[in-house]
Amino acid sequence: MQGLKVKLEFWNRPRITRRSLLFTLGYCLVLSTTLSSCSQPQNTAQQTTVSPDSTEKKSEQPTTNQKVLRVVRSKQLTALASLEKKGILEKRLASLGYKVEWPEFLAGPQQLEALNAGGLDIASTAESPPIFSQAAGVPLVYLAANSTDGKAISLLVPVNSPVKKVKDLKGKKVAFQKASIGHYLLLRALEKEGLKLTDVESVFLPPPDANAAFSQNKVDAWFIWEPFVTRNEQKKVGRILIDGGNGLRDTNNYYSTTRKFYQENPEVIKVFLEELQKEQVWAKNHPKELAQILAPVTQVDAPTLEVMHSKYDFALVPITEQIIQKQQEVADKWFSLGLIPKKVNVRDGFLTPEEYAKITPSEVLTKK
């Protein structure tokens, strides 16, 4: 209405000249063009702000019907890493309408945080992260159990440290990722010597921060996994006090997901476990080839990778009642120490034997 009023006033004005009329019409045309261009900058920016290689990557983008499987990138140099490198899983799942992504995380606890937040679909951790996750109310599912790989986790001390045995750590600073296998094995190692976790000063640090603290002698020991162990040995920064072998480690590693993802994607999980099993067998039988494949992506030379890989068993194992009971023992231990807020029934996260039979490779199920 205001615009109409202005126009009426304009046409009712006396003494309108041809010159003033042309000027006014020209001004309105300019104003109209300016307003029109100002109303579109946001959309224009969205259309033109693209990456230089967007044309090349356009064909790689998922279609509206394509789904994404996010599997954790292996930082522990296992067969999962070579599975990613070979692209085998991507080929298998493409026919089911999935693409595969491999996000990377510092350690197990961070993986399960992402799992709960929807940023990861399949995690690979030791025994403790799933328990802490269950204690936090995450509807987690244990998809498969893997070998213990105890020798791949070690308690490091500085190369010139006076510490000669675990008992010597009493009153000293020990670094590890909280709720990780390092946390659990430190507890086990201390208890074997008649000590408690409270007999050492626990320093909770994720691996990169712990690595820096250890190299600067800010901590007296560090419980960590490969490749940190071998790298510190090679640099003559640290030496192994003990490792998780010889019975110290009595638990398994696990692949896990959320209950929702398991219920909605059983066929995808089945394919993943099938390909993982095949790659585990291949990795165990081809150590040199495995090292050559992973050397460029890990920036670790092949001979060193062979040493690291020799510490892994590369084996999926069937989930048995014994495995479930051991996981429950660990959960009860963490609760008794006050490190989780409530008692956890780990069985809530395990499937039934019938459900496992549908997703687990047959050669794994027949193992004893």
pLDDT digits (tens, 9 = 90+) for 122-145: 999 999 999 999 999 999 999 999
Q: Left if phi > 0, otherwise alpha if psi is -120 to 50, otherwise beta: which for 299?
A: left
* Alpha carbon distance 329, 180 (integer Å): 16
Q: 79: buried, middle or exposed (CB in 10 Å: 19+, 13-18, 0-12)? A: buried
Confidence of residue 36 (pLDDT cuts 50, 70, 90): very low
Residue 26: per-residue pLDDT: 41
Which of 360, 286, 258 is CA-nearest to residue 317?
A: 360
| The pLDDT of residue 252 is above 60 | yes
Q: 47: buried, middle or exposed (CB in 10 Å: 19+, 13-18, 0-12)? A: exposed
Residue 352: per-residue pLDDT: 97
Locate 294 and state its tokens: 């992973």
| The pLDDT of residue 299 is above 80 | yes
What is the torsion angle, in degrees rounded to the nearest 10, for the CA atoms of residue 236, residue 214, residue 295 and residue 179? 140
Do you find a cis peptide bond into 318, omega within 30 degrees of 0? no
What mean pLDDT is predicted for residues 353-358?
96
| The pLDDT of residue 333 is above 90 | yes
Residue 44: per-residue pLDDT: 31
| Exposure string for 232-249, b = 16+ CB within 10 A, e = fewer | bbeeebbbebbbbeeebb
- DSSP designation for 348: G
Q: Which residue has the higher pLDDT, 41 or 244?
A: 244
The superfamily CATH assigns to domain 151-243 is Periplasmic binding protein-like II (3.40.190.10)
Confidence of residue 77 (pLDDT cuts 50, 70, 90): confident
Q: What is the mean pLDDT of the chain?
A: 85
Number of C-beta neighbours around residue 168 at 10 A: 16
- Report the Cα 113 to chain-centroid distance in Å: 9
| Contacts by 340-348, CB closer than 8 A, 24 or more apart | 340/131, 340/132, 340/135, 341/135, 341/136, 342/135, 344/131, 344/134, 344/135, 346/130, 346/131, 346/134, 348/134
| The pLDDT of residue 91 is above 50 | yes
| The pLDDT of residue 230 is above 80 | yes
Q: 33, 26 in Cβ contact below 8 A?
A: no
* Alpha carbon distance 72, 69 (integer Å): 10
Confidence of residue 75 (pLDDT cuts 50, 70, 90): confident
Residue 64: per-residue pLDDT: 54
Instruction: Assign domain 65-147+251-365 one CATH number from 3.30.230.10, 3.20.20.70, 3.40.50.300, 3.40.190.10.
Output: 3.40.190.10
CATH 3.40.190.10 in the chain, residue ranges: 65-147+251-365, 151-243
| The pLDDT of residue 218 is above 70 | yes
* Alpha carbon distance 287, 86 (integer Å): 15
Residue 78: per-residue pLDDT: 86
What mean pLDDT is predicted for residues 296-300?
87
What mean pLDDT is predicted for residues 178-189?
97
What mean pLDDT is predicted for residues 171-194?
97
| The pLDDT of residue 223 is above 60 | yes
Number of C-beta neighbours around residue 272 at 10 A: 26
Beta strand 221-225 pairing with 173-176: parallel
pTM of the model: 0.80
Residue 368: per-residue pLDDT: 64
Q: 244, 237 in Cβ contact below 8 A?
A: no
